[in-house]
């Protein structure tokens, strides 16, 4: 069992060790793209801290209920930032889209999201250019200068359109009931590793810090009221790992299920020597602790041979034609008739006692007595039966 289990156990210990080291090394780091707490390259901890130093109250919320409560507490002095509007389901979009903060900032939304937030903007498609010039009269854009606003462009019948690439602006600020909507084609200018390049910090702080309170909405998977399965609750990396593991299992099954070649025939019946059959039968008795069955087989064989010696029964095993020798229990082949065991116990015991000079009680105990309960008792019984057969054969008294 240890040889079979040590491989998987060592692998499990190795995986646990690697995971523990990874947790110890990275456990103190916050991670997450455009997350105001994240300190890695794709996070936005830097711009959030700069906004707080300028007096902006940055609040990270994870549910639509928290976002609604934060916006309704001061609707005219709050800005709602939704960095991943495409990740919202219909219920979340409906709950957030009806909110009316002073400014709503969306990053790379599609037509579905733009319509849910009550704008007339339309997605004009992606473009590759990342660095663009303002080319508009928006004061925030003029102060910032060029910035990383590549990603997607938008068409709008009204509002301010800035940072155009091939006629498609990467920043649009459009009016809305009781407020305005600012749409960014990309969130790269807000990342920690891009914030100090070009005018990214200036533009990001002006767009997000236009109001005293900034609601940073990063929805949790459990926020959706719809029914979610177990797979949908797992992170994307876990789902991809499960898919890879499934493919590996299928490939392993296909490899192990290859054909082994044609079936090899074996001539039957197979001849098995009598000694092998007796040894195999004895092993089965020993494994099953069938002391009573084994003792009865020994006594039955001894009674058959002693009866034949004294002229009370046949001296051969019926159906085999082989004489049974002393100390060897006769074993008939499979399907052959068993030896005759219908000797009268009283007659047999009296004849053996007269032949050997033993008492009838001793002979009866050996041939018909209680069964042993352990190996040593069974061996002793076999020895006593062999000795009794020798005395019957020679007619010698045990005295």
Residue 231 pLDDT exceeds 80 = no
What average pLDDT does range 38-50 have in this prediction? Answer: 89
Angstrom distances, CA of residue 86 to CA of 75, 92, 113: 24, 11, 7
What domains does the chain contain, in order, with CATH numbers? 28-221 (3.40.50), 274-394 (no CATH)
Residue 327 pLDDT exceeds 50 = no
232 vs 229: CA distance, rounded Å: 5
The pLDDT of residue 338: 41
Single pTM value for the model: 0.53
Per the CB < 8 A criterion, the answer to whether 231 and 221 are in contact is no
Residue 75: partners with Cβ closer than 8 Å, 6 or more residues away: 100, 101, 102, 178
Contacts 24+ apart (CB under 8 A), 354-359: 355/310, 355/391, 355/392, 355/395, 356/388, 356/391, 356/392, 356/395, 356/396, 356/397, 356/398, 357/397, 357/398, 357/399, 358/388, 358/391, 358/397, 358/398
Q: Which of the pair, 102 or 128, is modelled with greater confidence? A: 102
Angstrom distances, CA of residue 135 to CA of 145, 163, 175, 374: 9, 6, 20, 102
Residue 341 pLDDT exceeds 60 = no
What average pLDDT does range 324-328 have in this prediction? Answer: 40
Which range among 127-141, 184-198, 376-390 shows the weakest confidence by mean pLDDT?
127-141
For the chain, the average pLDDT equals 80
Which range among 21-25, 214-218, 253-257, 321-325 shows the weakest confidence by mean pLDDT?
321-325
Burial class (CB in 10 A: 0-12, 13-18, 19+), 288: exposed
Residue 50 pLDDT exceeds 90 = yes
Per the CB < 8 A criterion, the answer to whether 182 and 103 are in contact is yes
Q: Which of the pair, 335 or 123, is modelled with greater confidence? A: 123
Q: Residue 215 — very low, low, confident or very high, per pLDDT cuts 50/70/90?
A: very high
The pLDDT of residue 337: 36
The pLDDT of residue 313: 58
Output the CA angle 46-51-56, nearest 5 degrees: 150
Of all residues in the chain, the percent with pLDDT exceeding 70 is 82
């Amino acid at each position: 069992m240890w040889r079979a289990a040590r491989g998987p156990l060592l692998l499990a210990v190795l995986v646990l060790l690697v995971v523990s080291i990874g947790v110890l090394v990275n456990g103190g780091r916050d991670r997450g793209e455009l997350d105001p707490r994240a300190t890695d390259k794709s996070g936005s901890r830097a711009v959030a801290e700069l906004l707080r130093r300028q007096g902006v109250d940055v609040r990270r919320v994870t549910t639509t209920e928290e976002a609604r409560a934060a916006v309704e507490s001061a609707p005219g002095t709050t800005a709602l930032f939704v960095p991943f509007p495409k990740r919202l389901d219909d219920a979340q979009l409906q709950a957030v889209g009806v909110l009316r903060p002073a400014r709503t900032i969306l990053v790379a939304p599609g037509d579905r999201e733009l319509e849910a937030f009550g704008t007339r903007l339309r997605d004009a498609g992606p473009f590759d250019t990342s660095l663009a010039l303002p080319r508009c009269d928006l004061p925030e854009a003029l102060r910032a200068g060029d910035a990383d606003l590549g990603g997607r462009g938008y068409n709008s019948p009204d509002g301010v359109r800035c940072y155009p690439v091939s006629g498609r602006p990467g920043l649009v600020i459009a009016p809305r009931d009781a407020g305005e909507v600012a749409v960014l084609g990309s969130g790269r200018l807000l990342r920690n590793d891009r914030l100090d390049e070009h005018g990214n910090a200036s533009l990001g702080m002006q767009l997000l810090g236009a109001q005293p309170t900034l609601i940073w909405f990063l929805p949790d998977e459990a926020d959706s009221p719809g029914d979610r399965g177990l797979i949908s609750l797992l992170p994307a990396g876990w789902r991809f790992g499960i898919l890879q593991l499934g493919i590996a299992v299928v490939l392993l099954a296909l490899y192990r299920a290859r054909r082994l070649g044609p079936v090899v025939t074996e001539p039957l019946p197979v001849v098995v020597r009598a000694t092998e059959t007796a040894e195999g039968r004895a092993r089965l008795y020993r494994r099953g602790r069938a002391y009573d069955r084994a003792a009865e087989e020994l006594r039955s064989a001894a009674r058959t041979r002693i009866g034949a010696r004294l002229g009370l029964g046949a001296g051969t095993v019926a159906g085999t034609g082989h004489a049974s020798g002393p100390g060897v229990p006769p074993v008939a082949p499979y399907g052959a008739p068993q030896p005759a065991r219908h000797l009268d116990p009283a007659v047999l015991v009296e004849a053996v006692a007269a032949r050997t000079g033993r008492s009838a009680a001793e002979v009866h105990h050996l041939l018909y007595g209680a069964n042993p309960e352990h190996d040593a008792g069974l061996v002793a019984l076999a020895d006593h039966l062999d000795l009794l057969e020798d005395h019957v054969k020679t007619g010698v008294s045990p005295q």
